[in-house]
Structure 1
Amino acid sequence: MADFFQAVVLGLIQGLTEFLPISSSAHLRIYPDLFGWGDPGAAFTAVIQIGTELAVLLYFWKDIWRIAVAWLRSLVQPEFRGHRDALMGWYIIVGSVPIVVLGIALKDVIEKDFRSLWIIGTTLIVLGVVLGLADRFGRNEKEIGRIGLRDALLMGLAQALALIPGVSRSGATLSMGRFLGYEREAATRFAFLLAIPAVIGAGVFELKDIPGETNPYGWGPTIVATVVSFVVGYAVIAWLLRWVTTRSYAPFVAYRVVLGVVVLVLVGTGVLAS
Structure 2
Amino acid sequence: MDWLHAVLLAFVQGLTEFLPVSSSAHLILIPVFTDWPDQGLAFDVALHLGSLGAVVAYFRHELVAMTCSWSRSVRGKGTDDDARLAWWVIVATLPVCLMGLMFQDVIETQLRSPLILAFGLIVFGLLLGYADWRYRGQRSEVSMNWKDALWIGLAQALALIPGTSRSGITMTAALLLGFNREAAARFSFLLSIPVIVLAGGMQIYQLTVSAVAVDWSAMAVGVISSAISAYLCIHFFLVFIRRIGMQPFVIYRLLLGAALIWLYG
Q: TM-score range by the shorter chain?
A: over 0.9
CA contact (8 A) 1:92 1:152 kept: yes
- 1:221 Cα deviation from its structure 2 partner: 2.6
Q: How does 1:1-274 map to 2 (within 5 A)?
A: 2-40=1-39, 44-45=43-44, 48-76=47-75, 78-80=76-78, 82-210=79-207, 218=215, 220-268=217-265
CA contact (8 A) 2:92 2:152 kept: yes
Q: Distance in 1 between matches of 2:209 and 2:134?
A: 45
Q: Distance in 1 between matches of 2:215 and 2:101?
A: 24
Q: Percent identity?
A: 39
Q: Distance in 2 between matches of 1:196 and 1:145?
A: 19
Q: Distance in 1 between matches of 2:142 and 2:27?
A: 34
- How many equivalent residue pairs? 264
**CA displacement 1:30-49 (0-9 Å, x = unmatched):** 12210122444677546522
Give 5+ residue unaligned stretches, structure 2. none
The SS at the match of 2:244 is coil
CA contact (8 A) 1:210 1:219 kept: no
- 1:18 Cα deviation from its structure 2 partner: 1.1
CA contact (8 A) 1:47 1:207 kept: no
Letter in 2 for 1:64: L
The SS at the match of 2:243 is coil
CA contact (8 A) 2:70 2:84 kept: yes
- 1:107 Cα deviation from its structure 2 partner: 1.5
| C-alpha spacing 1:263/1:43, structure 2 compared with 1 (3 Å) | farther
TM-score by length of 2: 0.92
The SS at the match of 2:4 is helix
The SS at the match of 2:162 is coil
Of 145-154 and 224-233, more deviation after overlay is shown by 224-233
| C-alpha spacing 1:216/1:260, structure 2 compared with 1 (3 Å) | farther
Q: Which runs of 4+ in 1 moved over 3 A?
A: 38-47, 208-213, 215-220
Q: Distance in 2 between matches of 1:3 and 1:216?
A: 16
| C-alpha spacing 1:136/1:45, structure 2 compared with 1 (3 Å) | farther
Q: Distance in 1 between matches of 2:253 and 2:41?
A: 21
Letter in 2 for 1:138: Y
TM-score by length of 1: 0.89
The residue that corresponds to 1:271 in the other structure is none
Give 5+ residue unaligned stretches, structure 1. 269-274
